[in-house]
Amino acid sequence: MKNTVFEGAATAIITPFFEDGSVDYESFGRLIDFQIASGIDAIVVAGTTGEGSTLSDEEHRDVMKYCVDRVAHRVPVIAGTGSNDTAYAIDLTKAACEMGADAMLLVTPYYNKATQGGLIKSFELIADESDKPCILYNVPSRTGCNLTPASVAALADHPNIVGVKEASGNISQIAEIASLCRDKIDLYSGNDDQIVPIMSLGAKGVISVLSNLLPAETSRMCHLCLDGNYAEAAKMQLDYLPLVNALFCEVNPIPAKAAMAAMGYGANSLRLPLTPIEASHGEALLGEMRKVGINV
């Protein structure tokens, strides 16, 4: 079995901005510290929720390095270094390795709509150039292509490919990955509304948006599953489902940015083409946050 990067909950952390859209590093640092103090198991930086796709190349590298330095080995840092350009993904991956990131998160190449053979070749080349473990990230609703279970199984033979974040929402596909790969690759939920179902199939945890708001609770849900207490974990899953639904009432990270701004972590500011949450959705989100005890 390969080394596991983390078990439990990893926060797909937002990148806080000022009103002018520049990175708010003071808020970012406080958010990182809040996550770690709350018992989060790992942090994913510059991923989808971190708006990595609209950070400039310089910002992307600066945000990754700031996170690695601020975390200072307290928990694993997983850097979002995937791209639709394999050469650029290799360059970013090498940079993140040099900065001291503990692992890479590699999204399926978006827009290009590669064949399965192209996806496998791309991931293999990136993993070849990485001196840190790599976690694949399958989110076909955003990328326009699906990484099939057979492709995951093929990639699981690569020594540097150790995990897959599955955000297809297709439980049958996820079960097929678990069946084909067994202990050759670690499986993580990529959807907060499916943490417990996917962990019941053997997943090690979740890469989460919810944990931006509730790191302790999201981690606890995962560790209940790891301990075999699925009844209590399922209760948590259902109790937080209305909040999770509110966090995805508009495309991620629009609601997450609004939620974290309300909690004092940066402005409610996003990079275009994303725009701030609609007023009615924002009020509903704040209402759900209050119901679970978040003081906003």
Quick check: helix, strand or coil at residue 194? helix
- For 274-287, write each residue's pLDDT tens digit: 999 999 999 999 99
Query: E strands within 14-107?
Result: 42-45, 77-80, 103-107
Cα 186 to Cα 158, 249, 255: the distances in Å are 13, 29, 29
Residue among 65, 132, 165, 257 flagged as catalytic:
165
Pairing of strands 205-208, 8-12: parallel
Instruction: Please give the domain boundaries of the chain with CATH numbers for all domains.
Output: 8-229 (3.20.20.70)
Is 165 labeled as catalytic in the residue annotation? yes
Are 59 and 22 a contacting pair, CB within 8 Å? no
Q: Is the dihedral of CA 78, 293, 245, 192 positive or negative?
A: positive
DSSP codes, 107-126? EPPPSS---HHHHHHHHHHH
Buried b (16+ CB within 10 A) or exposed e, 74-92: ebbbbbbbbbbebeebbbb
88 is annotated as an active-site residue: no
Q: Which residue has the tokens 């910002």?
A: 59
List, for residues 132-168, the tens digit of each pLDDT value: 999 999 999 999 999 999 999 999 999 999 999 999 9
Catalytic one among 137, 188, 240, 265?
A: 137
- One digit per residue, the tens of pLDDT, for the chain of length 296 reads 689 999 999 999 999 999 999 999 999 999 999 999 999 999 999 999 999 999 999 999 999 999 999 999 999 999 999 999 999 999 999 999 999 999 999 999 999 999 999 999 999 999 999 999 999 999 999 999 999 999 999 999 999 999 999 999 999 999 999 999 999 999 999 999 999 999 999 999 999 999 999 999 999 999 999 999 999 999 999 999 999 999 999 999 999 999 999 999 999 999 999 999 999 999 999 999 999 999 99
Residue 204 DSSP label: -
Which tokens belong to 281? Answer: 């959705």
Tell me if 10 sits within 8 A of 254, measured CB to CB.
no
Q: Burial, 228: exposed, middle or buried (Cβ in 10 Å; 0-12, 13-18, 19+)?
A: exposed
